[in-house]
Amino acid sequence: MNDLPKELIEALRKAKKVAVLTGAGISAESKIPTFRDAMTGLWASFSPEELATPEAFARNPKMVWDWYAFRREMCAKALPNPGHLALAEMEKHFEQFTLTTQNVDGLHQRAGSRRVFELHGSIARVKCADTGRLLGGEIPECDEPPPLHPETGGMLRPDVVWFGEALPEQALLESAQAAIEADVYFTIGTSALVYPAAGLPIEAGRAGAVVVEINPIETPFTQLATFSLRGKSGEVLPAIVEALR
Ligand code: BJW
């Protein structure tokens, strides 16, 4: 990518505090399908309400468990892509760098990012659906999923945030604080439809940050962004890191 705005690189050179929000698009180049892209989205054949709500799990726990088991395996096999790696590299350039992700795939940490806040949980963890107690060891084998928590006897579910559920308080607080303190705020690979995550770049902009969107297509956030870079994060982010060298 040759046509990065000069003003953006200048703003980054001056910036002390940088914060980032990522969504499913950053993992698209690691072959993890996004949620809402036509045809390829994970929900192309299912509606979110069928799979990612507590009500869906209560109605059909086996279907929801199986869907997450399939995705857990896909995430475990996936590898971080140049976009994840560029963000891990970028972390070293700034006095403060806060990476908030809506993704549950763990790829930022595997790429080497150190300060990561997972707003929607982690697909690698499971917990008791009744008590919220996390499972310590391996997921137990069972004939009729979901398996049960060995200590509580309740059904296991993924430790992710479904619609209508509260986000992890500390992760949200730290992310909101980073947004209002940021000199430059990036919103990368997200459709900007799901709140409260989608409110973070809005807050950053209101507090005076230079806000940069990276996405191949327009989103509801595009109009508010200072710079909207049309492209894949796996191409745009390495170009930004290169320009900062
Ligand atoms: C690329 C690319 C490439 C492709 N490079 N880019 C305010 C207003 C309206 C509604 C609400 C509101 N506040 C709360 C709500 C309700 C609700 C909500 O937001 N609803 C809207 C949909 C209307 N929010 C909630 O319910 C949240 N909870 C809550 O608010 O609780 C309140 C509460 C307080 C106290 C007590 C109790 C409750 C919870 C939201 C949870 C979202 N969960 C999910 C599932 C997580 C688990 C899982 O993975 O299965 O999170 S839904 C799903 O959407 C997932 C994602 O993290 C999230 C966002 O999706 P994302 O990442 O943006 O993906 P896509 O597919 O939408 O977009 C991908 C983008 O990438 C596209 O733009 C592509 O173009 C782009 N792209 N290739 C760069 N190579």
Summarize pLDDT for 118-145 with one digit per residue, the tens.
999 999 999 999 999 999 999 999 999 9
Give CA–CA dist 161/13, Å, rounded.
36
Domains 1-32+80-120+167-245 and 33-77+126-160 share a fold: no
In the predicted structure, residue 116 carries a pLDDT above the cut 70 = yes
Q: What is the mean pLDDT of residues 11-17?
A: 98
Question: What is 33-77+126-160's CATH topology?
Answer: SIR2/SIRT2 'Small Domain' (3.30.1600)
Percent of the chain with pLDDT over 70: 96
Residue whose CA lies nearest to ligand 1 atom number 62: 23
- Band of residue 211 on the pLDDT scale cut at 50, 70, 90: very high
In the predicted structure, residue 190 carries a pLDDT above the cut 70 = yes
Structure-token pair, residue 126: 């499971």
Give CA–CA dist 178/143, Å, rounded.
45
Lining residues, ligand 1, CB within 6 Å: 23-25, 28-29, 34-37, 41, 48, 52, 102, 104, 120, 160-166, 189-191, 193-196, 214-217, 219, 232-234
- Band of residue 189 on the pLDDT scale cut at 50, 70, 90: very high
Among left, alpha and beta (phi > 0; psi -120 to 50; other), residue 105 is alpha
Strand partners, 98: 19
- Contacts of residue 200, defined as CB under 8 A and 6 or more positions apart, other chains included, come to 19, 21, 100, 175, 176, 179, 185, 187
Work out whether strand 210-214 and strand 227-229 pair parallel, antiparallel, or are unpaired: parallel
Question: What is 1-32+80-120+167-245's CATH topology?
Answer: Rossmann fold (3.40.50)
- Band of residue 13 on the pLDDT scale cut at 50, 70, 90: very high
- Band of residue 43 on the pLDDT scale cut at 50, 70, 90: low
What is the number of the ligand 1 atom nearest to the C-alpha of 232? 5
Q: What is the mean pLDDT of residues 53-81?
A: 95
Question: So what's the pLDDT on residue 49?
Answer: 65
What is the number of the ligand 1 atom nearest to the C-alpha of 217? 75
- Tell me the catalytic residues: 120
The domain ranges of the chain are 1-32+80-120+167-245, 33-77+126-160
Arithmetic mean of pLDDT over the chain: 95
Ligand 1 mutation target, pool 66, 195, 217, 236, most atoms within 8 A of CB: 195
